[in-house]
A = this chain, B = another copy of it.
Amino acid sequence: MRVMGVDPGLTRCGLGAVEGRPGAPLTLVSAGVVRTGADEELGARLVGIEAGIDKWLDDVRPDAVAVERVFSQHNVRTVMGTAQAAGIAVLCAARRGLPVALHTPSEVKAAITGSGTADKKQIGAMVTRLLRLAEMPRPADAADALALAICHVWRGGAQHRLAAALAKATKKGPGS
């Protein structure tokens, strides 16, 4: 299962893809960021993010996309741009018929480090260890995107097994 994670943002939109399945070692596919200038108009920035994400989807060809769920409580100054970048990631994936999952920051932290309140450094260290990399992926947004993708492989795996078991049980049921 190949998953692309998106840590949304207008100035730096983190992107990271991993391949793996629950209970097996994970492999890094790619990591990076799409950047847009704070001096650009909003429209130009959103078009730049769309183009960057579309290029990544073309290159990486993921089976699923995991996007960070944005809340309105924190970072009030930038939250609207973050929500819009997240919306564009969801749009780009959905246009291709790819399954999209939204994970909260604390779900990702808990999945990767065992603690929902882990800091960025801890996330980066665990991403480095789990992908068996020589050094921490930079910038931090790329590491966060990889953490989202890893979280999704693990959570998605569980959900897939559940869906498969349910499908199997339904097939065996009296209705078929």
Which residues of A are interface residues toward B (Cβ below 8 A)?
A: 41-44, 46-47, 50, 70-73, 76, 79-80, 83-88, 90-91, 93-95, 100, 102
Contacts and interface: CB of A to CB of B under 8 A. Distances in A.
Contacts of A102: 42
A47 B95 contact: yes
Contacts of A42: 90, 94, 100, 102
Given A72-B72, A76-B72, A43 B83 contact: no
Contacts of A46: 87, 90-91, 94
Given A41-B94, A47-B95, A72-B79, 19 more contacts: A41-B100, A42-B90, A42-B94, A42-B102, A43-B90, A43-B93, A43-B94, A44-B94, A46-B87, A46-B91, A46-B94, A72-B76, A79-B83, A80-B83, A83-B83, A83-B84, A84-B84, A84-B90, A88-B91
